[in-house]
Structures are given as C-alpha cells and as structure tokens.
Structure 1
Amino acid sequence: MLRFKLLLICLLLSAASVKADEGMWIPSLLKKYNIKDMKKAGFKLSAEDVYDINKICLKDAILGLGSKSNPTTFTGSGSFISESGLVLTNHHTVVSYLHKHSSEELNYMRDGFYAQNKTDELPAKGLTLARLVRLEDVTENLLKGTESLSDVEKSRLVDKRAKEISKKVREGNHYKVKVKSYFGGTQMFLEVYEIYRDVRIVAMPPLALGKFGGESDNWRWPRQSADFAVLRVYGNANHESLRYSIANEPITPVNHLELSLKGYKEGDFAMVYGFPGSTKQYLTARAVQQIAEVTNYHGIKIREAKMEIISKAMNKNEDLWLKYSDFMAKTSNSLLRWKAELRGIEKLDLVNLKRKEEEAFTQWINSSEELKKKYAEVIPGIEDCVARLDTIEKLNMYVFEGGIKGGNFVSFAGKFDMLNAIASRKNVNEKRLNKELRRLRVEASNFFNAYDLETEKEFLKTLVKLYDENVGDKYKPKPIIEARAKYNGNFDRYIDDAFSNSMFASKEKLNEFLKYFTKEDAKKLQNDPVFDLCLSYFLINKDMVYRQRVDIRKEYGKYHNKYLQAKKEMMAGQKIIADANRSLRVSYGNILGIEDDGKNYAPIAYLNELVEKNSKDPKVYAAPQAYIDTCKKAIKESKKAIPTCFISNSHTTGGNSGSPVLNAKGKIIGLNFDRAGNGLVGDYKYMPELTRHIAVDIRYIRFVLEHQLHADNLLEEWK
C-alpha cells in the first residue's frame, strides 16, 4: 500500500510539472530523453542533427551574446545565417550598440541603418558572440569520493577539480571553458566555447519598426514587430580565437542555418535553439508569494514612476527622445514583465498550486526515516530564509531601482567617490590623482552629452519621495531623513536647493571644479549636497543590503539545492527538467493559437494589422509614412496575406531573445523575441494553455530589409 501511495504521489507531480513539449532541454541529452517526443510533435531530423561533437550540426550555427568582460555570460542569442559571417539576432538585444553611433545628424534610432558595403559596417564595440564547441558530462569526475564530506569541504573540492579540468581542456587551444551545475549540484557539465570579438552592425530597422507598438504591445499578442538585427563576425589579427580566419575579413563559420520561405500552418512543429537566461521552476509557495507581494509589487511602483518621467521628457523634443529611447525601452521591459508575471501568478493561483506540490513532497519525505533525515529541514529552512529576505528584497528595490539605477545621475555621481578617497589620504599620490581627474572629465562630458539634467532631477525628486514613503527610517539614508525634517516633506524643493548649491548643477561648474581641483577640495566634494545624497545610496547598500542579502541567499541556496536534489531523487527514472542557466538549450512544440481573457487568437499575425494599428493610433504605432504606403501597396498586390509574426508553445525565457525558430527540417522560419503576457509565469511554472513565445517571421524580416532599408546587396548575399 505504501509503495502504491508513493507511486501515486510521483505520478501526480510528474503530470503537474512535466509535459512532452515542456522544458528547455540540454541538447546533448536529446537522444536519451526527447527525440521520440520531438518526432511525435513532427520533427523530421535526428538527435545528432541537432547536437553532435563528431560532425557539423545545428548547434554549430547557434550563438550566445556576451560582452568583452563576460563573453560566456549570455544576455541573448543569435545564429549564423551565411558563409560570410552574417548573424541574425534581435533588434532589442543590440540596439544599444547602434545607439552609441547615433546623433542628431545620423539618427539611426529614427531612420534605421544599413551598410551598403562592408567598409560601412559599424563596430558593435564590447559585444562578443560565442559558439558552443562541445558539452561534456563531468559529474562523476567532480563528485567522486565527496559523499562523506561536509558541504563546505565538498564545494571546495568540486571547485578545485573543476578548475583543474578546465585548465587541462584549455591547454594548447584558444577556447573559453566553464563548468555549470544542474539540480543542486547533482549533475555537472563542462562547456567549451569559441569566442568571436570583432562584431559589426550590418542592418537594423528603425526603432518604430523594431519595437512597433512600443510599450502598448510589449509582452502582448498579436504583434507586428520587426525585431531583428543583422551583424557580421570578422577575423581579428590580435586574437588567437580566430586563427583560422584572415584579419579584418569576414569569417567563414563552421555552419550556418538555411532559410525556409515556404511558411507554416497551425499545428506545425517549431523548435527554439538558443541560450535561455534562467528559470525558477522549483520555487516554493513562499518564494512565489515574495515575488508577487514584495519584489514585483514595489518594482512596479518604482518603474511606473520612472516611466511617467521618461514619457514626459521624450515628448518635449527629438533630442530628449534620442537620449532616453534606450533607457525607456529597458525600463518599460521589466515593468510590463513584472505586471504580466503577476497576472499569470494570479490566473494560475500559483501560490496554492505550489503548496499542493509541497504537500506531496512532504508526504514522500515522511514515507521513510532515511528521507526524513536527509530532507525534513528543507521546506522549513527555505521558508525561514524567504521570510528574512522580505525586508531586504524590498529595501534592495528602493536602493537600486529607486536609487542607484533610479535615473542616471546617482550612478554618475557615485563615480566621484574614488576621487574623494584618493584626495582624502594623508599622503596623496599625485600621479593617481591626476589620472582620476582625467577620467572624470571624460565621464562628465559623456554624461551631460548623453542625458538631460532637468530630467535627471525629476527622477531624484520623485524617487526620493517614494523611498521616504515606503521604507522605514531605520533603512533611510541620512540626507533623506534630514531633508524630510528641514523641508517638511517637500522633496522637490530639497532637490532644487541641493543642485543650486552643488558643483553638479551644470557641466560648466563641474568642469571648472575638476580643472582646478587640489587635494584640499576633497572637503568640498564631501560637503556637496548632491554628492552626499547620491553616495548615501551606495552606503545603505553596503551597510544594510548587500552583505545581508548575500548571506541569506547563500543560506537559502543550500536549502534550495537540497530541494532540487530531493526532487530529482523522488522522480528517479522519469524525465525531469533542469532550470535554464544560460547554457545552450532546445525547446520544442507546435505553432498554436491562444485563448486569453475569453478571446481566441490565431497563431499568425499579418501586415494588414500593422497598417490598421498605425491608422488608429499613429502616435503609438509610429511607423514611417513611406513604409505604411509601401505596406498598403504590397497588401493590395499580394495574392496572400503577408505574415509578420507567429506564436508557438515552445518554452522560452529571457536570453532566448534572438534565438532562431526552426521548422521540422531544421530550417529557420523565424526569430524569437518575446512572450505573450500571462505565459511569463512560465519561468516559475510552465502551463501549455498559457505559454506562448512570439517570433518575427523570416519572410517579414526580408520584407523590411527590401522595402524599408533597401538592402538589396544583403538580400542577395543572404539566400
């Protein structure tokens, strides 16, 4: 009878959390776990066609977007699409690199960009791309003989072994190597990467098309966004990773994806191949509750206030629109995401759903003394940590979202703290002092050219007030407490007075201060009211947030890892999903419509809908008029409706932005760029009736390249 109950519990949990089209799967394990289900869903290729270390396969065309300082910490995905090093990714993943090249004279944000010749391609300075060379399961090598060790001893030994293995793999080659942990450290994979460091921008549509509908359409379906960008990878004589290429010439990639312009229909197989960021499928009820009631709740409050300020500024003139368009996009993205997550949590009743899972988990633990000994403390330990984190997470939101990252001024002023530290020492290093002054002159020039001081003051006025209203005095910076008393809560007047008495009041005053600065001026900086306020956020973070948050999260991590270990043990022999962790993954499903709030939506959106939206609200859907005219003409002349975007139930998350969407034969049919609102809860619990990712149709990408950017040479190259 006991065995029957245990089996029933496992089956219930399995049915609740694992479905054939769910999950972001490790590509090297597809043959073992997934290929049969993929075939049932319509896939026509083999597991080896997707991933194989002995032959060229699809994985050799897939790329992770990183940075010069963190080339294997991926923020998005992409893919090679030609033999001449062309890469396809999302507009929103790389628009900041184009933004750096934009000016009032060359307004690429408004007009888009296309390089007629290779010599015109713009460097995406700091952007790196990575190709996974191979995966290797190193679990046995890392964990052998660690059973009797304490957690600390085990961690040290595993880290030591991982470094030794990585060093050995790197010997005699140019690769980057990482070891990643899965299921609370019960499974380890070695990842070997080829890094590309010379990346250039070839083509990007105007912001009005790349982010068509802006915030009104973000995280929503149906969509008509041309969210794509075309890049190119070059050889670099100064970096050995491209030793097989010619310096300053496009590389020839190991593999590139083939196009399919035949289209698709509802029910067809679709596969997303890329580097998803992170999911948290195994959160407890209490942790989900914290997301809903603390993190997202206060994050939404802060970002709504920021969005109101940005919107007013951008409506004033084109200069401010250009300066704040990228900042607005980043601010609104998380705001709308948090709102959508809350809707999904509520719609699923996710807190109670997680509680039921925990009840089944507890029953399993209580079925034997051995399991009790190993795992009885897991759920209570997690709940205790989460309860202690409530205050810290709320404070962290107001310190970072409302302070350090509230606008752009706090982080800018914070850069002067090093000057203060150098000049305040008893024996001042004049050489270092002068070097720091030169650095800050450049920082000051860049800041005042990139941002508007009056707008930044509005951020401070609004967010200081929000901080005061929502955080207890124990956690408030001294300047805010003193300002509330002195100005009777009128923080607008406080900020105005602070700037009127500050060296940060203008570019000219700050430049003068830096030009004639001596070590005696350290006191002036310390007593500056604006610097004092801005620095206080960093001090609150240092004294009350960072270390406490790290310590509690570290303790939480130990319990959560044990929870994952227990889940894996409990479901031994069954297919169980590892959370996404910025490693290469495959997700698959079918192109399907969706029901949302009582309304059914088809899985494909069309060009005529773009024209209709633009006609109804040209301010929000601000496509160039010449492009709208072209669309009307194309619609009239075409015998079939022209698709723009589509959705499928493949499981995706952040980081999948720019991932190619492939058909049953492994050919690219689209480019993933978003998810439909309620499905954002899929990071915490995948539900097939809610989860849809959104992709721009490959045919629409080529339509925009032809009719908006007039990229005939590129289209000829990319066939």
Structure 2
Amino acid sequence: MNRKNILLSAILFPAVMAFGQQYGGMWIPTELNEKEMKDLGMKISAKDIFDPSKPSIKDAVVQFNGGCTAEIISPQGLLLTNHHCGYGIIQGHSSVKNDYLSDGFWAKDMNGELANPGVTVDFIADIKEVTGQVLAGTQNLDDKASQAAINANIEKVKAGFKLEDWQKVVIKPVYYGNKYYAYIIETYKDIRLVGAPPSSIGKFGSDTDNWVWPRHTGDFSMFRIYADKNNKPAEYSKDNIPYKPKYFLPVSIKDKQENDFTFVFGFPGRTTEYLPAIAVEKIMTEIDPAMIGVREVALKTLNEKMRTDNETRIKYASKYASVANYWKKWIGEVEGLKKSDAVGKKKVYEQTLIAKNPNIKPTIDQLNQLYTEQAPYALNRSYYSEVMRNAETLSLANQYLNFMQSYEEGKINDQNLSAFKNRLTSTYKDYSGELDAKVTAQLLALYANKTPEQFLPANFSQLKDADKNLDTVENWSKKSVVTGRGMMNGATAISDIDKVFANPAELIKNLKNDPIIQWTAAIKNTYLTKTEGKYAELQSQIDVLQKKFMAQQMETDKDRKFFPDANSTLRVTYGQVKGSNPKDAVYYGYQTHLAGVMEKYIPGDYEFDVPKKLVNIYNTKDYGIYKDKTGDVPVNFTATNHTTGGNSGSPALDANGNLIGLNFDRQWEGTMSDINFDPRFSRNIMVDTKYILFIVDKYADAKWLLKEMKIVK
C-alpha cells in the first residue's frame, strides 16, 4: 500500500499564516461573538442561530444519548451523527446472521427502522442567565456556607420555571461559578436506527489514523426521532410518527475553498482555557508525561504479544485502542503546548493583568504556592490512577475490594450483586491472565521506581525489577481468585462466576488471603491515606482561588471577549476551512479524497480494508453530483473550529447555515486546544457532506433518504 501523507514543500505554504480569529471559543449561543463571526465571513445573524421565540438553527441540534451531538436533516426527523456515536447501538442490533457492524445497515423504508429502548435526544428549548438569583445572599458567607446557599437557591430558581410536562430545567455554572445559566430541555425517547455504513467506511483508519490528519473516514450514521400524534415526546410505540422539527438543516454539496467561514454547533464536554501558567506547566511537564509513560509501557507489552499471536490481537484490539486513544492525545497535547509556548504566553498575560490590576498578584502568588504544594500529590495521583486502570489484574482486584467493602457494610443486594458479576464477566471475556501478568509486572516496577517512598506501601521497593516481578505476579496468580486460577466452589474457569459467588462469606474469606488482593489493598490504602485527602484539600483551595482569578481576569481585561469553558452544554464555535503547517517544511492540505482511501487500502486489514462495492465505484468513477472540481469525491476536511469531546456528531455549517460537514475528531498537533487554543495548529476534522450523500446514494442505494432532504447544489 502506498501510504502517502500528502506532504508538500513549504514553498506551497506561506511562512506566516494569517488568521482572522483572535481566540477560539465555545460560545453560549445567546452570547455569540457575532462581530468576529461576520468578520470571518458569516452571512446569517446570531438570531438565525439561536432564537427561542421562532424556529432557528438550534432547533435542529440535539445532544445524542447523553454524550455526542446530532442534527436534524429532514422535515421528518431524520437525524445525522457519527458512526462512533451510534456504534454501540449498531452493535446491539448485530448478530452473526445480521452483522451490521461489518456489513452496514440501511432500512428500506420507515417500517424497517430499528427501535432502541433507552436511547434519547435532548433539545435545548431556551437558555436563561440566572446568576443573580443563584448567587443572591452569598456575598459575605464562607465557602461552605456559600455553596449551601447556592444549592438552595438553585432549587428555588428551578421551581420558579413554568414547564410543560415533557420539559425539565438544568442549571449549570460557568466561569468557575461566577455565572449560572438555566437550560430548558426537551427529551425525546423514541429514536430509531435508519442507516449506517460498514465499519470499513465508518471506522476506516481506526486506531492508526485516530487523532491524525490526513484522514479518510466516513464516520456517520443515521437515526430518526419519533413522537406521539401531537409531535410531543413519548416512549416507543408502533403508533408513534416521525417527529416534525421546528427547523432542519439544508445539506450543501457545494465545493469548499480554503478560508471559507464555518461554524460548529454542539455539546462540547470539558475545557480548561483559563488556568494559571503554573497549572499548564504542571500538566505539560509532569501530569501528561506520567500518564503517557504508564500507557506507553502497557501498550508496548500488549503489542509485543499482539504482533505474534493473532488470537490475542483480535481479543485485545478494542482494549488496545482504548488505551492508545488518550495516550496519543496527551502526546499531541504536550507537543502542542510546547510548540505554541502556552506557558510563556500565560506568564506574559499574567504580568499584563498585574500591571493593570495589582490586586491580581496575590491571587497568582497563592495559586503558584498551592500548585507547587499540590504537585507531588497530583503526580502520585496520576501514576496511581493510570497504573490501576491499565494493569487489568489490579483493576479487577480493586473491583473485588469494592465488593468486599460493600458486603461487609451490608450494602450488597441481589440487584447490585448481579451488576457486579456482569461487570466482572464483561472484563474477563477479553482477559488474558498470562499476558496481563506481564503488563502488571511492568507497571508495578514503574510505580515503584517513579513514586517517592512516602507514597509507597511498606516493602514495595522489592517490586522495582520488572523481570523479578513477573515471577512474583505469576506465583500470586496461581493462588488468586482474581486471575481465575485460585477458583473455588468447584469453579473451573472464570465463566463459572456464579459458582464463585455462591457463598459470599466464603468468597470474602478467600479474598482476604488472596495475594493479589492484599498487594492491591496495600497500594490503594496507602494512596487513600497519603495522597487523596491532601490532594482534594489543596484542590478545594485552588478551586476557590480559580473562581476569584477568573473574575479578576474578566474585570481587568476589558479588551478581551471571554467565553466560558465547555461543560457539556450547547455551544457555538467558529473558524475557517484551512490546511495546516504543523512542522517545518510540512504542509497538510485542507481536503482529502476517495483516491486517498484507495491509497491506504489493505485488503482484509481490520483498519484499512475497503468494501468491494466501494472499490468498484472508485474504479468506474461513478461519482455523480458528488465529485468536486478535482473530479474526485471529497471525504474529510479541516478547519479552525475550537472543538473537543462531545462535539462528535456536531454539524459543521457554512456562512449561510447550510450543513457542510460532520465533526468527528481533531488533528493530533492541535489537541492542546482543550487548554490553549492556537489557530495556527488547532484543527477539527469533519466528514464532508458530499461523501456522506455519496455513500448513501451510490454505495447504500438509499435514495429514499435523499428525497427527504433539502440538498443545496
């Protein structure tokens, strides 16, 4: 396979890129930075985007199943989101006979759409600032009393809203508690699967291309919202009808040009843009490197086995991808923070603020002192959490420890015992005790070597040698319930989990003598005693000061347009279609094409296989109206929109509010945007609507869906 990176000479790219946008921003849609949006090319108004009094674009944007974003693209409630957002739902409908993950699924008509009990979408009917009501009477209270008053005020404010039966109100803080907003939410509960491409399209590139550009992934799936006969939310019923939206998005298949304006509307999860310089420095130099280091050891150990054993490769593929996901993200984050000089810029900004307002200096000095004092505890917290998460044997032991505690406190009933056994069964399904013994041996050695003695259990220094640890862990395993080798009650394998729990009192007795349980308990208890409490105490003090620092920034810097950090509420971000120049003499174009899919094609590969039908379409060049000026079908594109987790599935819209893409990832070199957005490097990655409609039309032959849409040519 020819794996071109589409790297061009630096002479094709200006030495200094000109950017119109000063900052990124995840803007509350009632408080948009409309001037800068229009300066960058937006043709519509802020009222066209969000207006509670009449239909607007916000009426087509929903939070999908509590995590991702989705958008309505037809007058019959047709919903578009990412393939990875619908993956678990598609998987739930799949079987050996109907393998929708491998083969894709396309309903032939509405009668063929598949119900999904428990899946929901949330509309935001309105947003109201309620800061004055929430903070009333808190000015002269200490922190604890103030929070109690805020909690009581929130309940009063919520009770004061007049809601329909199908509505609820949620109140959330922003700017570290300096402001509060109320969100009126309408939840629809009958969401049906309409269509999804095969994983070889929807997850093309899988782990290797994750966070990476150039990208060639058709990461989309389609659902439909159903409602009762009055168009109101209802539980699933065969009598429900397709939801008639107040607004739906026209779908544009016009060609894109560099510097075209674009905005993304969705529910971003979490960002921390206003931290002091010292906090960013600790993340960049201590916290991220610690977490990267743990996952690097785990991945290397897994990879050695997966490369030589096909059964292990298949069993651990999903697990490996999960571990690698944030490992890769954190590496990009560290490099991006360094390259954009995030710490240096923040230090300069802090001095600028102090020059304008000397009262800020004591706040920054106290934050510096607290972060310095917290640093060893924060570092141990990072190592501990990552070791316990990535050494599955320790993670399982921790689950058993939680069970033991709950049992001895009399908190175990049939319901939570069943849930606990189900979690164990799910973990054991893809667990190799022999392989994880190697991972655990390595990570115990790393923890012993990287952790100061004050944070280690007694005698833990004997675990500094990974090779010796392997013998030790294997000896533990022979006597351990955790690994399935020290089973009881006649159980012969992990699959006999019911027999293991047949006599809980006897199980508890055995667990207390289990060497893996004993060592895990020692690690955990030492962490809880020496680290967690002190870390939390200092973090509480930091949070109080961060709230003050945030208020001081906003009061002092009158020239800056502030936006609140993401908190999973509805936001608008904007930018321009752009390629990038992440390294010297390296230029990434803003658009990829179907030809690039074929360049990466490896028949039979779990990441880079291509369906035969798509290969045939490519060979015959049966592109129809979906080719662009190059004669090829565009697949993905990048822009300078400020996105994060939760923006998966968000609509990317053009200057006139037409849907032009579906957000699904970020470019690796700009993943620091959660902490420090830099338009030179930060890029979000989107599926082009041309490719989505091309797959629906030419590959899936689902033309009946196209007839529902308003397609802008």
| Residue aligning to 2:26 | 24
Q: Is the 8 A contact 1:674 1:693 kept in 2?
A: yes
SS of the residue 1:327 aligns to: helix
Question: Would you say the 8 A contact 1:109–1:322 is kept in 2?
Answer: no
Equivalent residue in structure 1 for 2:646, among 651, 655, 666: 655
Is residue 411 of structure 2 the alignment partner of residue 446 of structure 1?
no
| 8 Å contact from structure 1 (residues 263, 669) kept in 2 | no
**Is residue 543 of structure 1 aligned with residue 529 of structure 2?**
yes
Structure 1 residue aligned with 2:390: 406
Q: Counterpart of 1:308? A: 300
Which of 613, 616, 621 is matched with 1:634 structurally?
A: 621
Alpha-carbon offset, residue 82 of structure 1: 2.6
CA contact (8 A) 2:41 2:261 kept: yes
Residues 80 and 87, structure 1, Cα contact 8 Å, conserved in 2? yes
The question of 1:287 aligning with 2:273 is answered no
Task: Give me the whole-angstrom Cα distance separating, in 1, the residues matched to 2:326 and 2:504.
Answer: 43
Could you tell me which residue of structure 1 aligns to residue 474 of structure 2? Answer: 496
Q: Could you tell which deviates more after superposition, 300-309 or 670-679? A: 300-309
Counterpart check, 1:78 vs 2:62: no
Q: Give 1:625 deviation, angstroms.
A: 4.8
Within-5 A mapping of 1:82-101: 82-100=74-92
- Residue 539 of structure 1 and its aligned partner are, at CA, apart by 3.4
Match among 430, 437, 450 for residue 470 of structure 1 = 450
CA distance in 2, matches of 1:488, 1:689: 42
For 1:163, give the aligned amino acid.
E
What corresponds to 1:700 in structure 2?
691
Whether contact under 8 Å (2:457, 2:523) holds in the other structure is: yes
**Corresponding residue SS for 1:291:** helix
Paired residue type of 1:589: G
Aligned residue-pair number = 679
Deviations 1:129-148 (CA, angstroms, capped at 9, x unpaired):
22111100112223345444
Counterpart CA distance in 2 for 1:541 and 1:247 is 55
Classify 1:200/1:391 alpha carbon distance in 2 versus 1 (closer, same or farther; 3 Å): farther
Is the alpha carbon distance of 1:48 and 1:466 closer, same or farther for their aligned partners in structure 2, counting shifts above 3 Å?
same
**For the structure 1 residues 251 and 409, does the alpha-carbon distance in structure 2 shift closer, same or farther, using more than 3 Å as the test?**
farther
- 2:230 matched to 1:252? no
Question: 2:642 & 2:587 partners in 1: Cα distance?
Answer: 20
In 1, distance between residues paired with 2:275 and 2:212? 25
1:322 deviates by 5.4
- The 1:718–1:469 alpha-carbon spacing in structure 2 relative to 1, beyond 3 Å, is farther
Could you tell me how far 1:126 is from its partner in structure 2? 5.1
Number of the residue aligned with 1:61: 60
After superposition, the Cα gap between the structure-2 partners of 1:299 and 1:441, relative to the gap in structure 1 and judged at 3 Å, is closer
How far residue 423 of structure 1 moved from its aligned partner, in angstroms, is: 5.5
Counterpart-to-counterpart distance in 1, 2:679 and 2:226: 41
Check whether the contact 2:137–2:149 (CA below 8 A) recurs between aligned residues: no
CA contact (8 A) 1:424 1:519 kept: no
Where is the helix percentage greater, Structure 1 or Structure 2? 1
* Structure 1 residue 616 displacement after superposition: 11
SS at 1:157 equivalent = helix
Cα–Cα, structure 1 residues 171 and 217, in superposed 2: closer, same or farther, change >3 Å? closer
Mapped contact 1:234–1:247 kept (Cα < 8 A): no
State how far apart, in whole Å, the 2-side matches of 1:315 and 1:207 are: 22
Match of 1:684 in 2: 675
Provide the secondary structure at the position in 2 that maps to 1:621. coil
- State the match for 1:646 in structure 2: 637
> Identity rate of aligned residues, in percent?
27
1:29 Cα deviation (Å)?
Answer: 1.6
Identify the residue that residue 43 of structure 2 maps to in structure 1.
Answer: 44
Q: Per the alignment, do residues 668 and 535 of structure 1 end up closer, same or farther by CA in structure 2, a change over 3 Å counting? A: farther
Cα displacement (A) at 1:62? 1.0
Q: 1:272, 1:586 within 8 Å by CA — same for their partners in 2?
A: yes
Answering whether residue 502 of structure 2 is matched by residue 522 of structure 1, we say no
Aligned twin of 1:481: 460
Per-residue Cα deviation, 1:510-565 (whole angstroms, up to 9, x for no partner): 53752542524421121122333444554345334433332221111111111110
CA distance in 1, matches of 2:258, 2:634: 13
2:207 partner SS? helix
The CA RMSD measured in Å over matched residues stands at: 3.5
Q: Give me the TM-score of the superposition, normalised by structure 1.
A: 0.85
1:589 aligns to 2:567 (yes or no): no
Contact kept, 8 Å, 2:315 with 2:430, in 1: the verdict is yes
Instruction: State the distance in 2 between where 1:499 and 1:336 align.
Output: 31
Range moving further from structure 2, 184-193 or 197-206: 197-206
Name 1:508's counterpart in structure 2: 492
Tell me the distance in 1 between the aligned counterparts of 2:366 and 2:262.
41
C-alpha spacing 1:629/1:187, structure 2 compared with 1 (3 Å): same
Does the Cα contact within 8 Å between 2:21 and 2:36 map onto a contact in 1?
A: no
Could you tell me how far 1:284 is from its partner in structure 2? 1.8
1:128 Cα deviation from its structure 2 partner = 3.3
In the superposition, relative to structure 1, how do residues 420 and 39 fare at CA in structure 2: closer, same or farther (>3 Å)?
closer
Give unmatched runs, 5+ long, in structure 2. 1-18, 485-490
Give the aligned partner of residue 331 of structure 1. 323
Cα offset for 1:265?
Answer: 1.8
1:204 to 1:118, Cα distance in 2 relative to 1, 3 A: same
Corresponding position of 1:572:
558
Q: Is contact 1:593-1:602 (8 Å) kept?
A: yes
Comparing 166-175 with 640-649, greater Cα deviation is found at 166-175
Equivalence for 2:373:
388
Written as runs of structure 1 = structure 2, the 5 A alignment for 1:140-179 is: 140-169=132-161, 173-179=165-171
Alignment partner of 1:671 out of 658, 662, 666: 662
Native 8 Å contact 2:500 2:507 kept in 1: no
The offset of 1:690, in angstroms, is 1.8
